[in-house]
């Protein structure tokens, strides 16, 4: 069974998630649902909601609250993407014009703020302090991760530990929270709740690492943006950290990273060095280590079909091409 098979199995419920997501965009300010429809219809794999739904099945929680909370998770993710695109001055998102490109930065930032507030308000209506705590922690960590990334922009001295801290906040936090909320809804005992949380955290780290790797190797038409976008924006991610660690031409590489006059020629040089030193392969090996840590966390649960599906979804991360 591959990702498409898993997605197909949850297709109907993910459509319910999308309907709830559109409800979150409902407002008397007509521009909000207009942009909301544009964003929702732009696609996206709904990975975070899927992890929540799969985790809920693993622990036997079937009530509709799981759909509502999956939509809340996706709303928070969408809000973070809106803010990211403004910060990065992005023009594309999933191969289409980004919201800030069409409606401007002011509207896009305010819409992101609206989504954060609306999503957290819905979480309050669930009358669960642990859920509110998990979501508020995830949102603060996302902002912290982005700020840490900005602080380290263009800094070739960034350590692997600092990189992990950044992606734990900006990406892993929300996937971790999706899995944790499933456990909270099912009222799991602490050991199993912690195991599900650890699974989500390691999966989230691996997921962002693959995103960062794809920035240097993916088909641009599938990636929806130019290769090397992270480098152009001064983001020092796993492949570059591996390159700086391995390469004999450190001074030249650091000079390219710190250059204000970035060119396609310089990107080609970095791509050449990444290939020469096997940095994509070594980066993927690190990804696989986090995937294995994630799977190991789930051994506390019975070997059911649901656990196998989560393992399959984890394996999908290493085979993504966009």
CA 172, distance to chain mean position in Å, is 7
Query: From CA 130, how far away is CA 180, in angstroms rounded?
Result: 10
Contact between 35 and 111 (Cβ < 8 Å): yes
Predicted local distance difference test score (pLDDT) of residue 3: 78
DSSP 14-38: HHHHHHHHHHHT--SSTHHHHHHHH
Contact between 191 and 59 (Cβ < 8 Å): no
> For residue 312, what are its two tokens?
């399959």
Could you tell me the CATH superfamily of domain 3-313?
Farnesyl Diphosphate Synthase (1.10.600.10)
Contact between 71 and 49 (Cβ < 8 Å): yes
Who contacts 261 (Cβ-Cβ below 8 Å, separation ≥6)? none
Predicted local distance difference test score (pLDDT) of residue 321: 61
Q: Which DSSP symbol is given to 88? A: T
User: For the chain, give me the number of helices (H) and strands (E)?
Assistant: 18, 2
> For residue 270, what are its two tokens?
């970095």
Domain positions in the chain are 3-313
Say what the pTM is. Answer: 0.93
Q: Going residue by residue through the chain (322 aa), what tens digit of pLDDT does each one get? A: 677 889 899 999 999 999 999 999 999 999 999 999 999 998 788 999 999 999 999 999 999 999 999 999 999 999 999 999 998 888 888 878 999 999 999 999 999 999 999 999 999 998 899 999 999 999 999 999 999 999 999 999 999 999 999 999 999 999 999 999 999 999 999 999 999 999 999 999 999 999 999 999 976 555 556 778 899 888 999 999 999 999 999 999 999 998 877 788 889 999 999 999 999 999 999 999 999 999 999 999 999 999 999 999 999 988 876 5
- In the beta sheet, which residues pair with residue 193? none
Cα–Cα nearest to 196, from 14, 61, 71: 61
Predicted local distance difference test score (pLDDT) of residue 2: 78
């Amino acid at each position: 069974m591959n990702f498409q098979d898993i997605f197909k199995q949850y297709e109907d419920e993910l459509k319910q998630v999308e309907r709830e997501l559109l409800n979150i965009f409902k407002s008397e300010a007509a521009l909000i649902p207009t942009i909301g429809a544009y964003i929702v219809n732009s696609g996206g794999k709904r990975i975070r909601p899927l992890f929540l739904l799969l985790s809920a099945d693993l622990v036997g929680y079937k009530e509709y609250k799981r759909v509502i909370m999956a939509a809340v998770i996706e709303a928070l993710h969408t809000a973070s993407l809106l803010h990211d695109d403004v910060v990065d001055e992005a023009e594309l998102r999933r191969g289409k014009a980004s919201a800030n490109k069409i409606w401007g930065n002011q509207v896009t930032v305010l819409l992101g703020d609206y989504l954060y507030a609306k999503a957290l308000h819905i979480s309050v209506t669930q009358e669960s302090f642990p859920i509110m705590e998990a979501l508020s922690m995830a949102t603060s960590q996302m902002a912290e991760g982005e700020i840490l990334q900005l602080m380290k922009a263009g800094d070739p001295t960034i350590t692997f530990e600092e990189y992990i801290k950044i992606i734990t906040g900006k990406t892993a936090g929300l996937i971790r929270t999706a899995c944790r909320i499933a456990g909270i809804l099912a009222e799991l005992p602490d050991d199993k709740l912690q195991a599900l949380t650890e699974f989500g955290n390691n999966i989230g780290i691996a997921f962002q690492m693959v995103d960062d790797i794809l920035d240097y190797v993916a088909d641009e038409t599938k990636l929806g943006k130019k290769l090397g976008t992270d480098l152009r924006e001064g983001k020092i991610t796993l492949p570059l950290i591996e390159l700086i660690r391995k390469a004999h031409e450190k001074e030249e590489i650091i000079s390219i990273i710190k250059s204000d006059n970035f060119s396609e020629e310089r990107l080609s040089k970095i791509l050449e060095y990444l290939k020469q030193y096997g940095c994509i392969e070594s980066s993927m090996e690190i990804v696989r280590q986090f995937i294995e840590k994630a799977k190991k966390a789930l051994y506390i649960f019975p070997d059911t079909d649901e656990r196998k599906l989560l393992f399959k979804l984890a394996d999908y991360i290493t085979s993504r091409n966009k």
